[in-house]
Amino acid sequence: MCAAMLARIQQFIALSLAVCLAGMFLFGAGIGRPWLGLLFAALVVGGYAAVLAVEFCLLWNSYNGFDGDRPGLAKLARAWWNEVLVAPRIFLWRQPFRSAREPDHLPAATARGRRGVLLVHGYFCNRGLWNPWLRRLRAADIPVVAVNLEPVFGSIDDYADAIAAAAARIERATGLAPIVVGHSMGGLALRAWLRRDPHARAHRLITIATPHAGTRLGGKGRGRNVAQMACGSAWLEELARGDVLTSRADVVCFWSRCDNIVLPTASATLPGADNRELDGTPHVAMVFHPAVFAEVERSLRLAPAPAPTSTCEP
């Protein structure tokens, strides 16, 4: 798969930081103050950690005094530190430089009759997010495809074609509807695809930190897709009215009270779905929580069923 636009944007960000850091080290050495490079690095890391801290403050305030549901400060601090450690590996390494490192896996000799997995990333992400998943699934010889959603800042509806093409590739190779997994905005993109395409089939829908009911951070970033994720947006209301998930027993929603992006955090659940809390886990780190991959493995072990009469295959 060719490099995506998002990878080029994040390459520019990562390389710009590296050039600035190198320049500060050289400048500091030239004037006899080598510590200037270390100071610049500390400012970059500290600024990034501070931005995440603001998100967690907004998370704390989003509970509006309902202390029975609000996570404790110690738990929030651990979640903040977890995200501080996880996110840079995603946004400064895997997605900018390794998005094509792990290929899709549709083995011609063994795919037929085996359930496949479709992976859909969220906002300002690309398929590099799923590299650990791709390695594990390929090692187990599980058919898997991970998509890049473009345009990066377009409408969520724009992603349906890419998702449909990926799902069709899996179904042609396996003869079975895939398990579809979406992180954050990716879960909404999967629901939009299921609503739009009358031929869409999903054996099971698994969403991770998806703002099904929107987020208060929606509309505070760049792109039409961000505005669509705002609480109470017309797009979300239309998505709910056109919901074709007739059997939400086949929908698993992973969410967390320490989600620093989906505010309020309960927005990541769906009525009637199998809603599972990942205790103390922040937004990006939820992708790599063992319980999420374990659920995919469990779903893969379920016996293939006859062709469905509804959108979600039983």
Does 291 map to a domain? yes
Average pLDDT value for residue range 130-144: 97
Over 60: is that where the pLDDT of 118 sits?
A: yes
Over 60: is that where the pLDDT of 45 sits?
A: yes
Whether residue 53 sits in one domain with residue 123? no
Omega before 264 within 30 of 0, i.e. cis: yes
Whether residue 188 sits in one domain with residue 142? yes
Domain boundary, last residue among 46, 63, 97: 97
Whether residue 177 sits in one domain with residue 67? no
Does 102 map to a domain? no
Whether residue 281 sits in one domain with residue 177? yes
Over 60: is that where the pLDDT of 247 sits?
A: no
pLDDT band of residue 218 (cuts 50, 70, 90) is confident
**Which of 7-11, 61-65, 195-199, 200-204 has the least mean pLDDT?**
61-65
The DSSP string of the chain is -PPPHHHHHHHHHHHHHHHHHHHHHHHHHHTT-THHHHHHHHHHHHHHHHHHHHHHHHHHHHTTT-TTTSPPHHHHHHHHHHHHHHHHHIIIIIHHH-TTTS--B--TTT-TTS--EEEE--TT--GGGGHHHHHHHHHTT--EEE----STTS-GGGGHHHHHHHHHHHHHHHSSPPEEEEETHHHHHHHHHHHH-TT--BSEEEEES--TT-BTTTTSSSSHHHHHTBTT-HHHHHHHHT-----GGGEEEEE-TT-SSSSSGGGG--TTSEEEE-TT--TGGGGG-HHHHHHHHHHHHSPP-PPPSSSB--
Whether residue 174 sits in one domain with residue 236? yes
pLDDT band of residue 68 (cuts 50, 70, 90) is low
What pLDDT, on a 0 to 100 scale, did the predictor assign at position 1? 40
CA distance 48 to 13: 13
Query: Which residues on adjacent β-strands are paired with residue 207?
Result: 182, 253
Domain boundary, last residue among 63, 97, 131: 97
3-state secondary structure of 82: helix
Q: What are phi and psi of 171, to 5 degrees?
A: -70, -35
What pLDDT, on a 0 to 100 scale, did the predictor assign at position 258? 97
CATH of the domain at 254: 3.40.50.1820
Whether residue 136 sits in one domain with residue 9? no
pLDDT band of residue 121 (cuts 50, 70, 90) is very high
Alpha helices in 108-157 (DSSP H): 131-139
Whether residue 131 sits in one domain with residue 78? no
Whether residue 136 sits in one domain with residue 91? no
Over 70: is that where the pLDDT of 211 sits?
A: yes
Over 70: is that where the pLDDT of 246 sits?
A: no
Whether residue 41 sits in one domain with residue 154? no
Whether residue 183 sits in one domain with residue 81? no
Task: Please write the tens of the pLDDT for every residue from 278-299.
Answer: 999 999 999 999 999 999 999 9
Task: Please write the tens of the pLDDT for every residue from 254-286.
Answer: 999 999 999 999 999 998 899 999 999 999 999
Over 70: is that where the pLDDT of 140 sits?
A: yes
3-state secondary structure of 247: coil
Structure tokens at 89: 């590996």
Does 66 map to a domain? yes
The average confidence (pLDDT) of the chain is: 91
Does 310 map to a domain? no
Mention every residue, 6+ apart, whose C-beta is less than 8 A from residue 94. 101, 128, 129, 131
Over 60: is that where the pLDDT of 300 sits?
A: yes
CA distance 193 to 245: 11
pLDDT band of residue 222 (cuts 50, 70, 90) is confident
Does 227 map to a domain? yes
Q: Please tell me the total count of domains within the chain.
A: 2
Full residue range of the structural domain in which residue 85 is found = 5-97
Does 111 map to a domain? no
Whether residue 175 sits in one domain with residue 83? no
Over 50: is that where the pLDDT of 105 sits?
A: yes
Counts for the chain of helices (H) and strands (E), in that order? 10, 6
